Structure 1
Amino acid sequence: MSIEWVNRAIDDLRAWGRAHAVAIDVDEIRLLCDYASDYLGVETLGDFTSGTFEELLLSIYPRKVIAPPESAGETLAAARTLVDFLQSSGEVAGKEAARMRATLDRIEPEMPEALADTSRFGMAKSIFSAIGPESLEHPDQIGPLGPGADLVRPAAPKPAASGTVPHAGTGSAGTPGPEPCDCPKCSPLPAVRLAPRERLAAAARQVPLLHDAHRLVEWMLASGRTPTAKGRFRAADVPAAVSELGVAEPALLWDLAVYTGVAEARDGAVAVDDGFGPLDERDEDDVLDLWASAVEYMVDKDTEGRVTGEPLLDEELYDLCDMLYRVQAPVSLDVVAGYLEETGVGESAPDLALAAVRLGYCGLVEHVRGDMITLTPLAVWGLRELYSDLGIEAPEAPDLADASAGELIEGLLSGVPAELAEDDITRWLERRPAGAAAAELLGAAAGAPAVARGIAVTIVDRLGAEAEPAVRACLDDPELRPHAIHWLSARGLPCPQLTQEELLWVSVDMLALAMPAAEDDPESFAENMAASGPPAHLIEEMWRVDHPDVVEVLELLGRSMTDGNVAKAARKAAFKARSRSIG
């Protein structure tokens, strides 16, 4: 979820409501935006469509949000207010707004039924809804989970898509830690997947900046032009170079050529070595060494504004590229602007659109859609080389498609970016029969920590009925049994009922596998728990569960639950669980 755009949208919505005397249900509209961002890929208000509302209210809400059917009216009212705002602010045209309103009118009678339909519940909602106070007294009344349930999926640490680079040294939620440090060495870098060297070398040969640096050196040699006594490009030669070569920054090209070893100023003249020649004639290692030096020069040296066109932005280019390296996802120029405001560069109002074009010319960034930019694969490689030279650990994400199930799980836990992880999982499954894949994954999950177990069962959840024998075999494993029952019931296959103890255990297990993400982004975890977390009467009983993570789970809930009564119940239960483990 991109917290930045949602917060900005809510602020604009509040201002619009005050200006038009419209009552705004901020919490409900925030929830609509959060789930649209999390599950439907909505990244701006303008991305909302009539289909977005239909998917949200008839699919996502019934699956994720614990809410009585009679609450549908409040949610629909908030959705209609959001549509009015979208039209009034120009985010959607009148015809699309009319389609949205027609969709809301059409689904109004359907939504209460959808909220009450247990077959649409996700696994967490199924369990937390199934265990009412009376169920704890009469466990024989608890039936199997309904079909279509969804697992709580463990999340990798959330990228700082808002433009803030995460720092090491911060304590877990609610726990004070050392002051954050701006030093890059203090914040571990994520693993990155590198393109093959031959592809990188081919890309380096196409970087306009490198081509123009070579052209400038050839031009100086052919015309007998010389550098200054200090080895700099002569200001008097700038107009001719711009005119004859069609380049914007000849001084940058000369300095780059010297820094990378393409040329040098020797005895008042331009000198090149015997290997000087077109990029296409350089071998793979040579051209990549040249590119690595070029990246170091651009992001780590004083370029006086000649890279981006803005001196202050050039000074922050290392940190900006570092942020993009960590995010590993396209970032809008608005997010970049927000990041630069935090560094103080934003006060000078740099032309980011022009800067992005110049960085594209330099081979560092590429536009992927609209105003979204990301590092080029070549830039990722070059930055990783720079980090390594600086003594900063920069791990490489392995290709997991041919790994064992244990290696796949371990690799995913190491923080492989979401898109790469999805591709790895898909190719891993394609190379194995469903039954064999399920058996291998569940075998690796047996006895593993909750987060590893969660990854395994989430992948198995993608498999069809042909995996039934392998899944059914796990009914004898106390830790995997609840997940196996969910898998079987979701496909309408015969399965036993979960006991009260098993339901409580799997509730703790699902929350345990979410702990890493909760500690990384406690605000989002608190929001999710407020919408679809366990009720107080369930939390009160969790201390009885024989689960290795029960104390940590209850302490997390005690810190995170926004409802004071629920948080208090979690803290009391944590105390009982600790006392039980000691006694």
Structure 2
Amino acid sequence: MSIEWVNGAIEEIRAWGRSKDIVVDADEVRLLCDYASDYLDVGELADFTPGTFEQLLLDIYPRKVIAPPESAAETVAAARTLVDFLLDSGEIGTKMAARMRAKIDEIAPLMPAALADTTKFGMAKSIFGAMGADRPDPTALDAGPTGSGDDPLGLSPHRLRGVTADDGCECPGCAPLPAVRLPPPEEVARAVRRAGLLADAHRLTTWMLDGARTPTVRGALRVRDATRAAKELGVAAPAAAWRLAVDLGLVEVAGTAVSAAGGFRPLEARDDQEVLDLWAATVAFVTDGPAGVTGAAEFDQELYAVHDMLYRLRAPMTLDELREHLEETWPGGEDPGELDSALAVLASCGTVERVEDAIRLTPQGLWGMRETFIRMGMPAPVAPDPAEGDAAGLVDGLLSGVAAEQAELDIAAWLARRSPPEAARELLDAVRGQSAARRGVAVTIIDRLGAEAGDAVRPFLDEPELRPHAAGWLAARGLDAPPLTPEEVLWLSVDTLAHAMPAAEHDPGRFAESLTTAGPAAHTIEEMWQVEHPDVAEVLDLLGRHLPDREVAKAARKAAFKARSRGIR
């Protein structure tokens, strides 16, 4: 990563400014160096060229930095200061300095318009815009330095010019992080020992050393070695694995000579804490957007935004959602084949995984992102284990958007600590007088219980909103149960559909498909509008949008109108 040389450069520039009695905007200069390193392959100050400034200020800044157009003057001034330092320190000559200054003079009047041009925004900006982010308050952009002791990775939330939640920024990227459920550390260590970019970096290091192979004069992996490593070792991203090995200090490179770093050992020989420390650095390496992680340059530059959003969503992100954002930024239009290949490589790194037609963070990816946030100085709360709480906490947790596999584990662990009667009583008590969504969760869990919970369920026949569910549960287990009236049957249909509304909005295709085989009959829909249920109009609207039979869907829309009219009167 860029952090080492950038930190050194910033210290030199600060000292130069003090010696010259020049005010140096070190934060702005740091950002120039960070982006030059991450996206333009600048590895030291001497690598800056006039073209570097042109790409930074007219291409990368407009795509990556959320900042008002009027802030361009500050960035241009920092670029001029950087040129002055490069000349005084001997990194460049007078002719190069003159060319850089001329290029910056050309850029200065163009940069405000570039920052304001929404067509230039990269995926991170597009994601925040789609999530309803307002432009940050310009007064919130005067942030403290990044890369300080509180930010050892040299990062700031979303790379937004150092803005943090404490600065008052209200964009989604600076909003408080949600509480997440973390896997046990030993599981994380076990997973990253088995596979992923960290494991590949260790295997590649051993392979390079054993074969007396050498990198290029710039320390990069040779093309022929990358090809052989992919074939012989199954390493999906050899160049990134080698760069990680060098960054982590697994191997030392001097010219074209390589040697094992002091203390280099296989992952299997390291204790869990060592492995976890290395994995935290690996996740930061992946999400900080080094060129060549996936091979798709536009996607590589947005890896932090993708991981951050998956963390905040706490749920899979569909590929269509991802493509929708990439279509706005991918040159020539997003290529589905290239995206699929990029995601496959990213999955091999171990931070994300494919789930049908969606992607989500792996357990170790979630753990690593939280470590990254913590090192950036961001509070990253951990959600309590629902198994240790009451029924209300379990329902809250399940409604918060946990993955299906985790939901199953949470339910099983919670039920294991209670007898069936205790579980049924707690759950039904917790949703008494609550919403259809909460009732639906409780009833779904109680459906797992056998007849031994009958005595705990029976008292809830006296609760109007729980009576239809309780009666149906008892009857399904062959226990004595009162027959439901036609009105109660209708109410139960509406309540069940109301519980399904969030899922229907999330995956309308699947909901419409389920209605094809299990949707309510036309005569039932025509009667639903009379049901005394707070969600009846919304349920009928839902049916009107998704029922496959056009005539029945039209009847549902008419019934929704009747329900609302009745409510108005």
Shorter-chain TM band: 0.5 to 0.7
Structure-2 separation of matches of 1:521 and 1:251: 38
Which residue type is aligned with residue 199 of structure 2? P
Is the contact between residue 292 and residue 386 of structure 1 (CA under 8 Å) also seen in structure 2?
yes
User: Shift in Å at residue 214 of structure 1?
Assistant: 6.1
Query: Out of 519, 523, 530, which is 1:544 matched to?
Result: 530
Structure 2 counterpart SS, 1:505:
helix
Structure-2 separation of matches of 1:178 and 1:309: 30
Structure-1 separation of matches of 2:215 and 2:388: 56
Is the contact between residue 217 and residue 263 of structure 1 (CA under 8 Å) also seen in structure 2?
no
Alignment of 1:436-447 (within 5 A): 436-447=422-433
Greater RCO structure (CA 8 Å; 6+ sep) = 1
- Cα 1:218–1:575 change in 2 (3 A) is same
User: Shift in Å at residue 283 of structure 1?
Assistant: 5.7
Aligned to 2:395: 409
- Cα 1:178–1:494 change in 2 (3 A) is same
2:283 maps to 1:295? yes
Is the contact between residue 296 and residue 386 of structure 1 (CA under 8 Å) also seen in structure 2?
yes
- Cα 1:482–1:364 change in 2 (3 A) is closer
Structure-1 separation of matches of 2:264 and 2:453: 60
2:183 maps to 1:195? yes
Structure-2 separation of matches of 1:522 and 1:354: 28
Is the contact between residue 190 and residue 415 of structure 1 (CA under 8 Å) also seen in structure 2?
no
Aligned to 1:422: 408
Structure-1 separation of matches of 2:130 and 2:352: 30
Structure 1 counterpart SS, 2:520:
coil
Query: Out of 474, 477, 482, which is 1:488 matched to?
Result: 474
Alignment of 1:34-49 (within 5 A): none
- Cα 1:184–1:260 change in 2 (3 A) is farther
Structure-2 separation of matches of 1:575 and 1:337: 37
Structure-1 separation of matches of 2:360 and 2:242: 27
- Cα 1:517–1:347 change in 2 (3 A) is closer
- Cα 1:554–1:300 change in 2 (3 A) is same
Structure 2 counterpart SS, 1:401:
helix
Aligned to 1:382: 368
Aligned to 1:497: 483
Q: How many residues align?
A: 399
Give the TM-score of the pair, scaled to structure 2. Answer: 0.54
Q: Which moved more, 1:554-563 or 1:381-390?
A: 381-390
Aligned to 2:199: 208
Alignment of 1:305-384 (within 5 A): 305=292, 307-308=293-294, 314=300, 347=335, 356=344, 360=348, 362-364=349-351, 376-384=362-370
Give the TM-score of the pair, scaled to structure 1. Answer: 0.53
User: Shift in Å at residue 452 of structure 1?
Assistant: 0.6
Aligned to 2:559: 573
Alignment of 1:465-476 (within 5 A): 465-476=451-462
Measured against aligned partners, the alpha-carbon deviations of 1:43-94 in whole angstroms (never above 9, x if no partner) come to xxxxxxxxxxxxxxxxxxxxxxxxxxxxxxxxxxxxxxxxxxxxxxxxxxxx
Measured against aligned partners, the alpha-carbon deviations of 1:73-132 in whole angstroms (never above 9, x if no partner) come to xxxxxxxxxxxxxxxxxxxxxxxxxxxxxxxxxxxxxxxxxxxxxxxxxxxxxxxxxxxx
Is the contact between residue 191 and residue 415 of structure 1 (CA under 8 Å) also seen in structure 2?
no
- Cα 1:186–1:491 change in 2 (3 A) is farther
Structure 1 counterpart SS, 2:474:
helix
2:524 maps to 1:533? no
Q: Which moved more, 1:183-192 or 1:487-496?
A: 183-192
- Cα 1:527–1:189 change in 2 (3 A) is farther
- Cα 1:551–1:168 change in 2 (3 A) is farther
Alignment of 1:2-81 (within 5 A): none
Structure 2 counterpart SS, 1:546:
coil
User: Shift in Å at residue 402 of structure 1?
Assistant: 2.9
User: Shift in Å at residue 196 of structure 1?
Assistant: 1.1
User: Shift in Å at residue 280 of structure 1?
Assistant: 6.0
Aligned to 1:91: none
Is the contact between residue 386 and residue 397 of structure 2 (CA under 8 Å) also seen in structure 1?
yes
Structure-1 separation of matches of 2:309 and 2:295: 20
2:449 maps to 1:458? no
Which residue type is aligned with residue 202 of structure 2? H
User: Shift in Å at residue 549 of structure 1?
Assistant: 1.6
| Structure 1 alignment gaps of length 5 or more | 1-165, 172-176
Measured against aligned partners, the alpha-carbon deviations of 1:227-277 in whole angstroms (never above 9, x if no partner) come to 96xxx416799979989xx88888645532454466788999999998876
